[in-house]
Amino acid sequence: MSVEDLTRADIERILDRAQSFAEVSGRAIKKVPALRGRTVLNLFYEASTRTSSSFELAAKRLSADFVSVRAQGSAVDKGESLKDTVRTLSAYDPALVVIRSPWAGAAELVARWAPAAVVNAGDGKREHPTQALLDLYTLWQRVGALDGLKVWIVGDVLHSRVARSNVLAFRRMGCEVTVAGPPTLVPREIESLGCRVRASLDELAEADVVYALRMQRERMEGAFVPSLREYAARYQIDGRRLSPQQVLMHPGPVNRGVELSAEVIDSPQALIAQQVEAGVVVRMAVLYELLASGGQQEPAAGLGLQAPVPAVVEVAGQSA
Ligand code: ASP
């Protein structure tokens, strides 16, 4: 539901397991039988490219049966309520439901109505926990230990579920987090999550990691910035603002020329493609954790997140 539900040990276990799945993803036949015979249901009430496709691939690589329902083109279009939809789809006896919706708290409701395990794949402006996990994984693979890293999250924090989940997740892993953006797009309460707030990028040079957010225009009901051009002039991450030792992250989709300039998107410092790739193995680890770990809470590989090492772990003692 939320990164708040996860301890540091939980996160490390999931990331360790994701690393073991990375080995599976490197094979010609990218499948293990861990979830054979189980059904995973994607229920998406909002647009998605990366999240929905990576959950689908994750379920299929674990050999689950996979069903996808999108609000558009389904009975939701005809006015069926979330509760009725969940009850109807529960007739298929899914082991797990992945839900994305524009309503904060929707995943909790689904969990109340369906006997299945539930994963929050983004609920309105509130949280997107698997995005935070895949971001931690990507960064860990790139830089090793995360303790003490200085992370700047820049842009439209107000409308971003990624910002909330990521502040919580980076803090949990011992990073120092700063959020920066126009005061109209940075809610003051965000400080209560344990981060600093800045209204300018003047001190951006101190950051080890620059995490840019998309301007979420679909969630803006008024003018939060005078113009996108003015926003870009003050807050765009470009070749001038990004220094060579910093790494750049973005959850996608990117508004090219708004929050990021083309030169930095395509630079070797950008981890954007790696984030997408990590989405599959991290979501495999989340599905595995909920459905196949049998309540085992020990680290998958005992790596303790010191430094990434090549994966040699067999998945549940089986490889296929
Ligand atoms: N893909 C992410 C989300 O669904 C970030 C974004 O859309 O800007 O929240």
Q: HEC string of the chain?
A: CCHHHCCHHHHHHHHHHHHHHHHHHCCCCCCCCCCCCCEEEEEECCCCCHHHHHHHHHHHHCCCEEEEEECCCCHHHHCCCHHHHHHHHHCCCCCEEEEEECCCCHHHHHHHHCCCEEEEEEECCCECHHHHHHHHHHHHHHHCCCCCCEEEEECCCCCCHHHHHHHHHHHHCCCEEEEECCHHHCCHHHHHHCCEEECCCCCHHHCCEEEECCCCHHHCCCCCCCCHHHHHHHHCECCCCCCCCCEEECCCCCCECCCECHHHHCCCCECHHHHHHHHHHHHHHHHHHHHCCCCCCCCCCCCCCCCCCCCCCCECCECC
Under CATH, to which class is 129-274 assigned? alpha beta
In testing the pocket of ligand 1, which one of 50, 131, 256, 275 has its CB within 8 Å of the most ligand atoms? 131
User: What's the confidence (pLDDT) of residue 76?
Assistant: 80
According to the model, what pLDDT value does residue 304 have? 42
Cα 318 to ligand 1 centroid, rounded to whole Å: 35
Give the Å distances, CA to CA, from 301 to 25, 38, 156.
Answer: 17, 25, 37
What is the Å distance from ligand 1's center to 60 Cα?
A: 23
Ligand 1 pocket test, pick from 125, 214, 220, 283 with the greatest ligand atom count within 8 Å of Cβ, gives: 214
Q: What is the pLDDT of residue 80?
A: 84
Q: Which atom of ligand 1 is nearest to the CA of 100?
A: 4
Cis bond upstream, residue 187 (ω within 30): no
CATH superfamily of the domain spanning 3-127+279-319: Aspartate/ornithine carbamoyltransferase (3.40.50.1370)
Which residues approach ligand 1 with their CB closer than 6 A?
122, 128, 161-162, 214, 216, 251-252
- pLDDT at position 310 is 40
pLDDT in tens, 138-153: 999 999 999 999 999 9
Backbone angles phi, psi at 223, to 5 degrees: -95, 110
Q: Residue 172 — left, alpha, or beta (φ > 0 → left; ψ -120 to 50 → alpha)?
A: alpha
- Which whole number is the average pLDDT over 17-30? 93
CB 206 within 8 A of CB 176: no
Report CA(314)–ligand 1 centroid distance (Å): 32
Q: What is the pLDDT of residues 155-200, one digit of tens each?
A: 999 999 999 999 999 999 999 999 999 999 999 899 999 999 999 9
Ligand 1: atom nearest CA of 49 is 1
Distance 294 CA to ligand 1 centre (A): 31
Retrieve residue 267's tokens: 């630079």
Q: Whose CA is nearest to atom 8 of ligand 1?
A: 214
The closest-lying atom of ligand 1 relative to the alpha carbon of residue 161 is: 9
| Structural domain boundaries in the chain | 3-127+279-319, 129-274
| Max CA distance (Å), the chain | 57
Residue to mutate, 162, 166, 220, 259, ligand 1, most ligand atoms under 8 Å from C-beta: 162
Look up tokens 């870009």; give the residue.
Answer: 232
315, pLDDT greater than 80: no
Backbone angles phi, psi at 224, to 5 degrees: -90, -20
- Separation of alpha carbons 37 and 171, rounded Å: 38
70-117 confidence digits (pLDDT tens): 988 888 877 789 999 999 999 999 999 999 999 999 999 999 999 999
Using the mean position of ligand 1's atoms as its centre, give its distance from the Cα of residue 253 in Å.
7
Q: Which of 160, 211, 276 to mutate to test the pocket of ligand 1 (most atoms within 8 A of CB)?
A: 160
Question: What is the distance in A from the centroid of ligand 1 to the CA of 254?
Answer: 9
CA-to-CA distance for 5 and 1, rounded, in angstroms? 7
Query: Given this chain, do its domains 3-127+279-319 and 129-274 carry the same CATH topology?
Result: yes
pLDDT at 296: 58
User: What is the 150 CA–ligand 1 centroid distance (Å)?
Assistant: 22
Q: Is residue 320's pLDDT more than 70?
A: no
| pLDDT digit string, tens, across residues 32-55 | 999 999 999 999 999 999 999 999
What pLDDT is recorded for position 302?
Answer: 37
Task: Give the residue from 161, 149, 162, 156 showing the smallest Cα distance to 206.
Answer: 149
Residue 64: pLDDT band (50, 70, 90) is: very high
- State pLDDT tens for residues 236-286: 999 999 999 999 999 999 999 999 999 999 999 999 999 999 999 999 999
Reply yes or no on whether the pLDDT at 12 is more than 80.
yes
Q: What is the pLDDT of residue 308?
A: 52
Q: What is the pLDDT of residue 316?
A: 40
Ligand 1 centroid from CA 304, angstroms: 29
First to last CA, the chain: 31
- pLDDT of residue 222 exceeding 70: yes
319 C-alpha vs ligand 1 centroid, how far in Å? 33
105 and 126 in contact (C-beta within 8 Å)?
Answer: yes
Using one digit for the tens of pLDDT, what is the confidence trace for 288-306?
A: 999 998 755 554 443 345 4
pTM, to two decimals:
0.91
